[in-house]
Amino acid sequence: MPSTAAPTAAPRAQAELRSRGRRINRKRVTRLTRIHHVVGRHLRRTKRTTIADQRAQK
């Protein structure tokens, strides 16, 4: 039984295939990515808003 908590790469993979002209079912892409252990990437990085001044007195 697949875990619903694990991120999948299926939506991004399907979008890439569609942009290359390949029409493929979303469920098939999901199944194949699960079989081949392909997981989604988290592309967003945390934004660092404050950078401490190393020369500042403590």
| Sequence-ordered list of residues with C-beta below 8 angstroms from that of 10, at least 6 positions apart, any chain | 26, 29, 30, 33
Residue ranges in the chain assigned as alpha helix (H):
10-19, 26-35
* DSSP-based helix, strand, coil % in the chain, nearest 5: 35, 5, 60
What pLDDT does residue 17 have? Answer: 92
pTM for the whole structure:
0.55
Q: Provide the pLDDT for residue 7.
A: 65
- State residue 28's pLDDT score: 93
* Mean pLDDT, each 10-residue run in order, the chain (58 residues): 62 90 91 88 78 78
Q: Structure tokens of 11?
A: 């939506």
Give me the pLDDT at residue 1, please.
46
Which pLDDT score is estimated for 21?
94
**How many other β-carbons are positioned within 10 Å of the β-carbon of residue 9?**
17
Residue 20: the pLDDT is 94
Q: Provide CB contacts within 8 A for 12, sequence distance 6+.
A: 40
